[in-house]
Structure 1
């Protein structure tokens, strides 16, 4: 009998693996609906949807392995990373999905959220004021007009699977929708600045200063949520180290 493996779990949702099947449990049915819809539109390999019975979505496991994880070592050849870049570019160039995603928040909304979060981080003693202030300045470069693209919204390297030098699939699409393409690239390279060679497959028309700004912005917005949900943004190579690297 297959064992049940807890892949990820927090107060909002959980993902379990039983053999070759992943079970995503989410009390917010809208997120599941978005995930299924967007996977059907994405022009890149995605998991097969096996069945849906709210609040559970069952999807098939993907072949291959991930390219790594935040705070851990990365794997894959330069060709595999270039293939990932090409897949991301194909996604960003696809016809837009019907609604904004995580990467599609307005500039004003992001700025207000960022200012409030920075104030909270300092007031609650989670991070030193100097670290927050420096990264808030760096993050400003991400708050600029952008052309909407088809974005994944949570494109961590742990969500991209490769076999050999080919992408076999991309998982976790609940945050997908119209958004800033550079947010995806920043999420994909967060904590692994040395792997900006992904741009060999993506293309060179990328503003690296904006990607670095998104590293700061995304990390500032994540720290408190991660702490409150039982994760450790202070672990080596994770969000706080990303913020320190900007000093």
Structure 2
């Protein structure tokens, strides 16, 4: 059973876990997909429901844009957010270090830091390369945006110890603690405004020389949101 069942306040909310296509959505007040591959069936369940909204979910087109990390980074640059995107490099890059990212993937899959020619890196059409956003601390900012307004936010800081790391692979954070988004909040909100994003998402980023450097935007419920799932569910329900 998902960790959500351990953390949610059962005195306030009753939770169930099942494939969306197998349930009657009118028996539930809120529908929350936990993975991107659950989005289509979640949208279909919301469409089958009657009466009040059962969820606010990003559109298929929105998910397709954001989930393609290269396409989304190029979109950000075109929209004037280039200051918040680690520099996109020619492939192969002319200097080291750099980071190679798969265009699609979660939890650090398909991402590696290349420190020198000895790492044996080769170009791949399904990947792209960027300047490494260096810094000991990585942040995640969870946001719920409904009807153009932020209804919930939560930020954590990860101490990665090393300044160049890929969280979610072999390296995990030494500590995780609540944090304030600080200088990252304004650009993150501006990006969501430009996208006209509706639903749940999380930004992963570092702060380099006082500027947010985005690692990725996930258009879904993020794993580190589980510990505050009661507050998230309450805020989501209040906004429907």
Q: Which structure is higher in strand share?
A: 2
Whether these two folds match at TM > 0.5 is no
TM-score normalised per structure 2 = 0.31
